[in-house]
Every structure is written in C-alpha cells, then in structure tokens.
Amino acid sequence: MVKIQNLLNLKEPLILASQSPRRKKLLEQLGFEFTIQPSDVDESEHILETTPEDFVIKLSFSKAKDVASRQNEHAYILGADTIVVLAHEILTKPVDKADAKRILRTLSGRTHKVFTGITIMESITYRSISAVQVTDVIFRELEDKEIEAYIATGSPFDKAGAYGIQDDFGAVFISHINGCYYNIVGLPLELLYSTLKQFSKEQL
C-alpha cells in the first residue's frame, strides 16, 4: 500500500492540532500517519469581525502556531477550524435543548454555508500555507417532531450548527449540498491533499 506521506514527499512527521474525532477519522481514511496534539487556542475569544473566510484562516493559523511553538523538532502541524454561517451569524454548538431547537428551526428550509480553514505549518521555521473551503448546505423543511427526536439522541450538542451529516440522523435534514461533503464533516480532503502537495513542493 502506498503511504500518502511518501506520495506527497512529506519529510517530517504530521501533527493534528485538534482533538476532533471526525478529523482524526478522515486523516485515517486517507492513510496518513500522524499524532494528535490539541491546541490551547480559545475559540470563544474570536468574534466574526471580518469575512468568514478570513475568520477560519485566522483560527486555523493560530491553532497550528500554538502547537508548533511547543515542538523542539521539525514537524508539520495541521490546524483546522470549521464554522457554520447563516445570514452572517456563526451558529455554534448548542448550549442546551432549547438552543438546539432554536438553531435547527432557524436552519429549516434555508441554505447556510460551512467554512473550513486549514493551515499547514512547519514547527521550527513557522513556514506556513493556508486555504479555505466553502460548501452550501440546503435544509428541507423540518417538522417539530423530527427536531425533537433528533435532540433526544444527544447528537446535536457536540456539533456546530446542531447537526451532523455523517453517521448521523441529522443527514436526513439535508436535501442537497453544493461543494465538498468532507468540508461539512470538518476537513475538506481534496483541499488538504492539494495544500500539502503545494507545501511540499515549496520546501524543495
């Protein structure tokens, strides 16, 4: 089996600056060998003062740099941040059942956008490259009993926008998407591969 690190000519270990089980699973899906070192960046301190694209790039960069600053040897750090945006409002993880119901009712019958920013950073030099992916997600009209049943599963509470598209009842809320499916899960795989490929070429 071809190792993807060899295919991309990555010469240093890869570190994921996130404890997201979904990002971990997606990296494993591609066959990456990596370790996990979550960043200590407080996402709650960041407010959407610019465009969503700039926001997720800034956060992914901050996460990568935070982890890179703790390394004593060369490594490639992957920082990532995903947000759900509806009408210029960031929809965060719901704080309770009432908040989850509010978010899902707001999404019902409407189109929202999912933004993911990724940053690849070399630990010692802080050389970096960043990129962003945007996906449109269209919800069908939801019935209250569907929303309540979904909330009863407990699934919305660890997800931005109060829903998941993968391995999850929330998938039936989505009529269609425009863009990258994996972006909604939390890590756009083609963008990641292309960005790592470019990053590797720039080191030559």
Give the catalytic positions in this structure. Answer: 81
* DSSP class per residue in 76-125: EEEEEEEEEEETTEEE---SSHHHHHHHHHHHTT-EEEEEEEEEEEETTT
* DSSP assignment letter at 144: H
Where does residue 160 rank: exposed (0-12), middle (13-18), buried (19+ CB within 10 A)?
Answer: buried
